[in-house]
Copies of this chain bind each other. A is one copy, B any other.
């Protein structure tokens, strides 16, 4: 079962914009060492939609070959085109990932719940593998298209066991609480570690967060204190929530890459696939990170 603190892993890229295999494995290893329970690779933070299907599959095959445990991976397999979503989900199963994180098809806007239901029904049936554990990736600020609670309920009823969980990145605590309470069988990850303790207390399962590239250790402390029923969990969460504000006002992916570049001294972190730009001047950001003790 997937539970705990998952980093939405950044993807390091060479100057030619190919994935840097060594830096990627090293970064994943570091996040696990810092305390992340798992690695949500190739989500929004991982620039997944800027990579082809073949690039994503090859990169996660390499990760496992390089010693990152497959059972710690929750690969993003979202795509607008059903055949791409099927190929990605199958490849994730092949590499041994215990679940996949799937965006809704995000090109057409204003689509119906019926249309989205049909997309995921076709996906599940075409993958045709009982091992599939599908996590619904709700991130309306980016995808615009999202999952209503009614749609989640319909999918759970139709494909119990296969529809396994969700990552909720709507930034809405009330929605996360509703999902935890309404769907006890659904694994619920908050899309930010600021909701980590609340989510766990509502019966949810953890967080999958971009900022966990930097806050994995502190997020893990919150989780462990909660798991131990230690009342210090609240203070640790408050401190984590405060620390996480280091990112406010900065574009998240460029800023997080700039921090990794400063930490590792590796210029591979200077590169982003267009349309994303590198941060022009990281001075203010790095000062703020230091001030937060991160």
Q: Is the CB of B276 within 8 A of A108?
A: yes
Q: Is the CB of A82 within 8 A of B115?
A: no
Known A50-B107, A141-B109; judge A82-B17 contact (CB<8 A). yes
Q: Is the CB of B275 within 8 A of A116?
A: yes
In the complex the two chains form, what is the Cα distance from A273 to B107 in whole Å? 12
Asked if A274 is at the interface of the complex by the 8 Å CB criterion, the answer is yes
Q: Is the CB of A275 within 8 A of B52?
A: no
Copy total for this chain: 2
Asked if A266 is at the interface of the complex by the 8 Å CB criterion, the answer is no
Which one of B53, B80, B82, B112 lies within 8 Å of A277 (CB-CB)?
B112
CB distance from A121 to the nearest CB of B (A): 8
CB distance from A270 to the nearest CB of B (A): 14
Q: Is the CB of A107 within 8 A of B145?
A: no
**In chain B, what residue has the closest Cβ to A143?**
B107
Q: Is the CB of B274 within 8 A of A118?
A: yes
Asked if A83 is at the interface of the complex by the 8 Å CB criterion, the answer is yes
Asked if A75 is at the interface of the complex by the 8 Å CB criterion, the answer is no
With a cutoff of 8 Å between Cβ atoms, the chain B residues found around residue A108 in the complex are 44, 49, 142, 275-276
In the complex the two chains form, what is the Cα distance from A293 to B55 in whole Å? 51
In the complex the two chains form, what is the Cα distance from A80 to B81 in whole Å? 12
Which one of B51, B84, B142, B275 lies within 8 Å of A83 (CB-CB)?
B51
In the complex the two chains form, what is the Cα distance from A116 to B80 in whole Å? 20
Asked if A264 is at the interface of the complex by the 8 Å CB criterion, the answer is no
Asked if A230 is at the interface of the complex by the 8 Å CB criterion, the answer is no
**In chain B, what residue has the closest Cβ to A53?**
B52
Asked if A183 is at the interface of the complex by the 8 Å CB criterion, the answer is no
In the complex the two chains form, what is the Cα distance from A114 to B75 in whole Å? 29
Q: Is the CB of A275 within 8 A of B144?
A: no
With a cutoff of 8 Å between Cβ atoms, the chain B residues found around residue A17 in the complex are 82, 122
Asked if A159 is at the interface of the complex by the 8 Å CB criterion, the answer is no
In the complex the two chains form, what is the Cα distance from A115 to B275 in whole Å? 4
In the complex the two chains form, what is the Cα distance from A275 to B105 in whole Å? 7
| Chain A to chain B contacts (Cβ below 8 Å), 21 pairs | A50-B81, A50-B107, A51-B83, A52-B81, A52-B83, A55-B81, A81-B273, A82-B273, A82-B274, A108-B142, A108-B276, A109-B142, A109-B144, A111-B275, A111-B276, A112-B275, A115-B275, A115-B277, A116-B274, A118-B277, A122-B274
A residues in contact (CB < 8 Å) with B: 17, 44, 49-55, 80-84, 87, 104-109, 111-112, 114-116, 118-119, 122, 141-145, 273-277
